[in-house]
Structure 1
Amino acid sequence: MWPTWRAAMERALYGEGGFYLRERPSRHFRTSVSASPIFAEAVLTILADVDARLGRPSRIDLVDVGAGEGTLVRHVLDLAPPSLAARLAITAVDLADRPPGLPEAITWAAAPPGSITGLVIANEWLDNVPLDFAEQTADGPRLVLVDPATGEERLGPPPEPADAEWLERWWPLPAVGLRAEIGRSRDEAWAGVVTRIVRGRAIAIDYAHPVDNRPLCGTLTGYRDGSVVPPIPDGTCDITAHVALDACAAAAERARGFSTASTTLTTQREALRALGMTGARPLLALAHTDPRTYLRALARSSQEAELIDPGGLGSFGWLSQDIEL
């Protein structure tokens, strides 16, 4: 039997013995979270802004969706000032088992809380939400089926009507042989998170592309041990595809009924630069007057530069949506 890519990805990543249920993500790929703890400083700055806009309530949520090993929330908890930490309710959301040594103050859960007042961060989560692929034929788009053992593909039936409508709106295929990644499952996943927010902000961070510049043949990729490998959905590697964040934004707006004025789509480079990250090297004169301070400042500038590099992590898309703020 040849399943759709969405079904094959679901089993390979999250089924019994699936990649994300047995592997430590940091072993296989580098993310902003693992690159530097100063990424957590940026998240804490955003959290403090949300806290202020909420009037500094007696309890404020921080929800990390796709928490992996819990690294981000560990860092935020360590960095939070006592006045905020005492009111902070942290939930790390992941299908994997709770990591050993995670502080008791952090709740580990398979789904976000039903009611959230505060900040939701989804860093490189949506790119691992399984989705289907379609290829344009002379008779219209057809789903792509896959052999999970080999990665061999064949064309299947047409997409269901809702997916066909999504393609027409968000990823039209103007020529035979072109492929699209049907992001409706990601739209639903993101909207499902945003609808849990009573008041606050939701931020999704991922490699992304806009509707007027979709890749012609898709972005399906496999990762293992820090290297790109063929995306074979047999459970031995990560399977990922870039995210149509503009479609996710629209889905959340429809689900919540708020306006596009509450939505911002930008890059990680621009988002972090707005928070004060420049990657600027310290003045060389400081090396002569205070060598230790110079070395610390140099290390920090290097980490900032990696996070905002337009050819690397800085090119990530940032979708930020405010709800009743």
Structure 2
Amino acid sequence: MGSTSLGMPALPPRTAQPTWKQAWDSALYGQSGYLRHHPVSLIRDRDELVDFLVPRLSGHEHAVLLGAAGVLAPQLSNLLPGVSLRPDVPTGFTGIVVAVDWLSHVPAHVVQADDDDRARVVHVDPISGQESLGLVLDDPGVPPTLKEWLDRHWPLAGDFARAEVGTTREAAWRDVLRCLASGEAIAIEHNHLASARPLTGTLRAAGGPTIPDGTRDLFADVALDALADACEATLFVEDGPARIESRK
């Protein structure tokens, strides 16, 4: 079985179309992907975010800015001339990593309950956006981690309920932490918690229909409590933007 560019198993399709995760991955990060030619949009209050980040970054000599945090690099550089900023996390990094709406741009498998309340992987036509349902999650061809994550963190409630499975976001944040030798890592994300998971998921496009054709940004909110649990991070939903923090 092959794998996608983020290292997740490529699922054998029940339909001829790619899974949403595969199409999303290609639409953002493929050869002509949207984020290869456009920055991640900052859809937060810039001043509030800068006010929160400046005292956190000021205690470090080196900082990594991921996702929409990169949009703030010129402003932060002027305010913190003694802090070296970079857009990637090298192995053995010492300092602070700040990710803003970065994990929400990590493609995830989209699943939906069919009319028999069975969760299935959702496939999509990358050109038209037309969807179809693929394998049930307990099929041998589907990685068992998808169903395990869904059962634990986001059980589908009712016919046609949808969710984005958080395993790829957890893997991405673990990769960041593996590269961090000493310091701290903060992920600030639009999110939801177990007490109020969205009934129909959160996958959407910026300013248009949700079609993975490479011409638009695609993102989905992060199950932040599940991420904190999986990565042994501290969850903050008050006192600043909703986020998780990890320290080494």
TM-score (normalizing by structure 1): 0.65
Q: Distance in 2 between matches of 1:123 and 1:165?
A: 27
SS of corresponding position for 1:156: strand
Q: Distance in 2 between matches of 1:249 and 1:89?
A: 27
Q: Distance in 1 between matches of 2:218 and 2:153?
A: 22
The residue that corresponds to 2:119 in the other structure is: 141
Question: What is the Cα deviation at residue 187 of structure 1?
Answer: 0.7
Is 1:320 the equivalent of 2:245? yes
* Higher radius of gyration, 1 or 2: 1
| 1:73–1:92 CA contact under 8 A, matched in 2 | no
Q: Distance in 2 between matches of 1:135 and 1:39?
A: 35
SS of corresponding position for 1:169: helix
Is 1:264 the equivalent of 2:189? no
The residue that corresponds to 2:43 in the other structure is: 31
The residue that corresponds to 1:292 in the other structure is: none
Matching residue within 37, 41, 45 for 2:55: 45
RMSD (Å) for aligned C-alpha atoms: 2.0
Matching residue within 72, 83, 91 for 2:86: 91
Unaligned ranges ≥5, structure 2: 1-15, 138-142
How do 1:122-133 and structure 2 match up within 5 A?
122-133=99-110
Q: Distance in 2 between matches of 1:36 and 1:212?
A: 28
Q: Distance in 2 between matches of 1:71 and 1:197?
A: 22
Aligned length: 227
| 1:222–1:238 CA contact under 8 A, matched in 2 | yes
How do 1:200-215 and structure 2 match up within 5 A?
200-215=183-198
| 1:148–1:232 CA contact under 8 A, matched in 2 | yes
Q: Distance in 1 between matches of 2:167 and 2:53?
A: 28
CA deviations over 1:228-269 (Å, ceiling 9, x no partner): x1110001111111111112212222xxxxxx6xx13214xx
Matching residue within 151, 154, 161 for 1:168: 151
Is 1:4 the equivalent of 2:16? no
CA deviations over 1:176-222 (Å, ceiling 9, x no partner): 32111111101110111122222222111111000121000001111
| 1:150–1:232 CA contact under 8 A, matched in 2 | yes
Which structure carries more helix by proportion?
1
Unaligned ranges ≥5, structure 1: 52-59, 94-111, 254-259, 272-315
Percent same amino acid at aligned positions? 36
How do 1:194-205 and structure 2 match up within 5 A?
194-205=177-188
How do 1:1-325 and structure 2 match up within 5 A?
1-25=16-40, 29-32=41-44, 35-36=45-46, 39-48=49-58, 50-51=59-60, 60-66=61-67, 70-80=70-80, 85=82, 88-93=83-88, 112-137=89-114, 138=116, 140-159=118-137, 160-223=143-206, 227=207, 229-253=208-232, 263-267=234-238, 270-271=239-240, 317-323=242-248
Give, as a single letter, the amino acid of the residue that structure 2 aligns with 1:130.
P
| 1:245–1:319 CA contact under 8 A, matched in 2 | yes
Give, as a single letter, the amino acid of the residue that structure 1 aligns with 2:245.
S
Q: Distance in 1 between matches of 2:43 and 2:128?
A: 28
Out of 39-48 and 230-239, give the one that drifted further: 39-48
TM-score (normalizing by structure 2): 0.84
Question: What is the Cα deviation at residue 30 of structure 1?
Answer: 4.2
Q: 1:66 to 1:24 in 2, by over 3 A?
A: closer
CA deviations over 1:4-55 (Å, ceiling 9, x no partner): 0110001111111111112244xxx5433xx53563343120123x44xxxx
| 2:39–2:68 CA contact under 8 A, matched in 1 | no
CA deviations over 1:135-174 (Å, ceiling 9, x no partner): 1232621100101111111100123211110001111113
